[in-house]
Amino acid sequence: DAKTTQPPSMDCAEGRAANLPCNHSTISGNEYVYWYRQIHSQGPQYIIHGLKNNETNEMASLIITEDRKSSTLILPHATLRDTAVYYCIVPTRGTSYGKLTFGQGTILTVHP
Amino acid sequence: SQTIHQWPATLVQPVGSPLSLECTVEGTSNPNLYWYRQAAGRGLQLLFYSVGIGQISSEVPQNLSASRPQDRQFILSSKKLLLSDSGFYLCAWSAGPYGYTFGSGTRLTVV
């Protein structure tokens, strides 16, 4: 998998937008960026993924820079339940197995 | 809709005892299946993956084995548990290459 770099931790006030950055400077042209999160003592949960264009769903928005070397996950109105570890992953294409490699992620703490 | 079942939720086993964790998927056919482990305070480590019945690939050498006796059943086993086998074990599936759905996990404590 292409290497990704995320800050180890971030804080956010409840109700404010949480912007989580990720650097993936070695990403190839056909590789997607995936975001997952893991709430304490639960399995990781898929959030969103994208290739080139910005994406939005009911959980979050994903902004990918034009050169695709970095991206930002945006939680528009963070709640206390969004406190979790957020993982940015760029799986390596070329296999049918699609193995995801999880790094250390960003610990997001949402406070009242 | 697709669902994934993993049990038991928690398990305390003595050193040297056997282990069997089961994972089943509903609502899909021929999924890719994965076993991950997360040691306390550590990241997720891929242990095994399977692209079909009887097809198992191991990612890291270890004290564990995996089997896939049916299309939607994935089993993680050990003949003799070690203290270092303690951790949070997660089963996952994907129908396409890269979107995963994880089970709720089994927290294993080897004593």
B49 in reach of chain A (CB within 8 A): yes
Residue A48: closest C-alpha in chain B: B99
Distance, CA of A68 to chain centre: 14
Per-residue model confidence as pLDDT tens digits over A21-40: 999 998 888 888 999 999 98
CA angle A11, A15, A16 (to 5 degrees): 55
Q: Is the pLDDT of residue A63 over 90?
A: yes
A45 in reach of chain B (CB within 8 A): yes
**Residue range B15-44: mean pLDDT, rounded:** 91
Neighbours of B101 (CB within 10 A): 19
Q: What is the pLDDT of residue A80?
A: 97
pLDDT band of residue B104 (cuts 50, 70, 90) is: very high
Per-residue model confidence as pLDDT tens digits over B43-94: 889 999 998 999 999 888 778 999 999 999 999 999 999 999 999 999 999 8
Question: Are the C-beta atoms of residues A88 and A35 closer than 8 Å to each other?
Answer: yes
Best B100, B106, B108 member to test A by mutation, with max A CBs in 10 Å, is B100
| B65 beta partners | B77
Q: Which residues of B touch A41 (CB under 8 A)?
A: 88, 105, 107
Query: For chain B, what is the mean pLDDT?
Result: 91
Q: Which of A36, A43, A99 sits opposite B49 (nearest CB)?
A: A99
Query: For chain A, what is the mean pLDDT?
Result: 91
Q: What is the pLDDT of residue A112?
A: 95
Q: Is the pLDDT of residue B97 over 60?
A: no
Q: Is the pLDDT of residue A93 over 90?
A: no
Question: Are the C-beta atoms of residues B63 and B37 closer than 8 Å to each other?
Answer: no
CA nearest A49: which of A62, A38, A66, A34? A34
Q: From CA A6, how far away is CA A32, in angstroms rounded?
A: 17
A40 in reach of chain B (CB within 8 A): no
Helices and strands in chain B, H and E counts: 0, 11
Whether residue B102 and residue A44 make contact (CB cut-off 8 A), yes or no, is yes
Q: From CA A33, how far away is CA A54, in angstroms rounded?
A: 11
